[in-house]
Structure 1
Amino acid sequence: MNAAALGPLLMPLPRLYALAAALALLAGGLGYALRHATSNGRWQGPLRAALLILSAGGLGLTLAPLLLPATLSGPARLPDITLEDLDGNAVALAELPRIAGHKRNTPILVHLWATDCPPCRRDMARLAELSGHGDVRVASVNQGEDLLPAVRYLDNPEPGSPALAFAIALRDPQQRLMAAVGATRLPLTLLLDARGEVVKRHLGELDRATLAAWLGR
């Protein structure tokens, strides 16, 4: 996979190299400017403050695409990838509508998540509520983790809370789906139509209003 996993983040290697180079140049320029600012004591304080503000702004612009919720563009259908369910059975993503007992006008939500991702956990609680309804199917796809922590979380998400049950629960330890759809971080939620095509996608926490709009509620 031509990408680096940083916890719930997944960054293509070219983007990772570009980010590292930008941060190195920014740090070098800041250090050079600060060294020269010390030659004039009267301007030393204001110059340092201005440089720190500019540096923080530049860093924010660099990281903003990774940190802000976004609507992604990507393939119209799920990639031709075979994953495993929690029992070790092979599941082809192209077969999700059939496996979920997909009926006409019944949406499928595909949710990519990890246990070390707080917004993922908030999404999971909302989506688990929907999973028990007959008019919605939810496919939960854990990203980058071993079987045990994923199962433990689904069985006991929070102290005193019920287990999280989904129509389909899959594992993607190599984050192949995440890379294939161009996601840089988690959570990611995809909405499939009756033909199994991806009609909506959301990167970041999926609020109730957006979810209701997707489902026409």
Structure 2
Amino acid sequence: MDALRLGPLVLPWGPLVLALGYTVAMFAAGAARRAGRGDPEPALLPLLVLALVAARLAFVLQHLADYPTALSMLDIRDRGFDAWAGWLAGLLGVAFWAWRRPALRRSLPASAATGAAVVLATLGLLQLAQPPRPPLPAINLPRLGGGELALQSLRGRPVVLNLWATWCPPCRRELPMLAQAARREQGVRIVLVDEGEPAARVADFLRRENLAPPEVLLDAHNVLMAHYRAPGFPTTLFIAADGRVQRMHIGELSAATLAQGVAELRRSPAS
């Protein structure tokens, strides 16, 4: 339930839920207009954009050192947003707009609140529908270069487990950052698990890309993808020291979203 899979497409729930809330707010605005309570519809899109920009800006400012260029700050594929900043900006925007437009002082807050309630309720239902994520399985996986690793041996220390494949474009984009973080990170172990490919192909890819991650495992039969019900590549699991998944990130990571997940792991009581 972390994402909606439609054939080859994997769509995170967040943007879909926001689109649903905006659509419901538009319907509420249309009802207000027909009832003669003003037309709040033109304000809704600017308010949504304001909330999203504020949420992104707040996140970027918190992780400024992890965004080396202005272009990387604008790349929202990592889904780095500060939800509290977005909600606050939206609330202040509604209050300011309603203050400037007396005719909308009832209809605009009502329409925006309707959309917001749908977003919060849908996210809550998705959370309730999320099946419990299983702990680390009791299996051994081959290491690239020889030997095996028992996944149960990862317990006792927070772990970031990245499921990837050489043919996956988002995986290829995030891999240099993950390899660098794996060499640098202290206290949190970062393990890259190639799914469904032979060792020779993985080794050849890493050699061509001049990458040398410290720990690469091979999951030739996609055991971890099935175990965690991962909908697609890349999938990154942030696993607390007790072996239980604290967070699952579907899609491409940036250095900032990786840092956010690692910080949450460090704050986890199990860590």
TM over 0.5: yes
Deviations for 1:140-193, whole angstroms, at most 9, x for unmatched residues?
100010111101122222xxxx32322x21101110110111012111101122
Unaligned 5+ segments in structure 1 are 1-60
Q: Which moved more, 1:122-131 or 1:70-79?
A: 70-79
**What CA distance in whole angstroms lies between the structure 1 residues aligned with 2:138 and 2:12?**
26
Query: What is the distance in 1 between the residues matched to 2:5 and 2:250?
Result: 18
CA distance in 1, matches of 2:224, 2:10: 20
Q: In the alignment, is residue 195 of structure 1 matched against residue 247 of structure 2?
A: no
Q: How many residues were matched structurally?
A: 145
Letter in 2 for 1:212: A
In structure 1, what is the equivalent of residue 182 of structure 2? Answer: 131
Kept in 2: contact 1:70–1:202 (CA 8 A): no
| Partner SS, residue 190 of structure 1 | strand
Report which of the two has the higher share of strand.
1
Q: For 1:87, what is the secondary structure of its paired residue?
A: coil
- State how far apart, in whole Å, the 2-side matches of 1:78 and 1:131 are: 20
Q: Provide the TM-score with structure 2 as the length reference.
A: 0.48
Asked if residue 94 in structure 1 is aligned to residue 152 in structure 2, the reply is yes
Report Cα offsets for 1:9-38 as digits up to 9, x if no partner. xxxxxxxxxxxxxxxxxxxxxxxxxxxxxx
- Alignment RMSD: 2.6
Say whether residues 1:165 and 2:213 are aligned partners: yes
Write the distance in 1 (CA, Å) between the matches of 2:141 and 2:249. 22
Q: Structure 2: any 5+ residue segments left out of the alignment?
A: 15-129, 265-271
1:175 alignment partner in structure 2: 222
Superimposed CA distance per residue, residues 32-85 of structure 1 (whole angstroms, 9 cap, x where no aligned partner): xxxxxxxxxxxxxxxxxxxxxxxxxxxxx9728942236975524122222111
Q: For residue 12 of structure 1, what is the aligned residue in structure 2? A: none
Partner of 1:39: none
1:119 lines up with 2:119 in the alignment: no
Letter in 2 for 1:81: I
- The change in CA–CA distance for 1:200 and 1:145 in structure 2 (over 3 A counts) is same
- The answer to whether the 8 Å contact 2:238/2:262 transfers is no
Identity %: 37
TM-score, normalization: structure 1?
0.59
- Paired residues of 2:176 and 2:211 also in contact (CA < 8 A): no
Distance in 2 between the 1:113 and 1:197 partners?
A: 20
1:156 maps to which residue?
208
CA distance in 1, matches of 2:148, 2:255: 32
1:143 and 2:201 aligned: no
Asked whether 1:68 is paired with 2:11, we answer: yes
Task: Decide whether the 8 Å contact of 1:81 with 1:177 is kept in 2.
Answer: no
Could you tell me whether the CA contact under 8 Å between 2:134 and 2:228 is conserved in 1?
no
User: In structure 1, what residue type is equivalent to 2:178?
Assistant: L
Q: In the alignment, residue 67 of structure 1 is paired with which amino acid?
A: V
Return the structure number with greater relative CO, CA threshold 8 A, min gap 6. Answer: 1
Distance 1:209 1:62, change over 3 A: closer
Structure with the bigger percentage of helix: 2
Distance in 1 (alpha carbons) for counterparts of 2:237 and 2:257: 12
Cα separation, 2, equivalents of 1:177 and 1:195:
17
CA gap of 1:212–1:110, structure 2 versus 1, over 3 A, is same
Whether the aligned pair in 2 keeps the contact of 1:108 and 1:139 (CA below 8 Å) is yes
Q: Secondary structure of the residue that 2:221 maps to in structure 1?
A: coil
SS at match of 1:91: strand
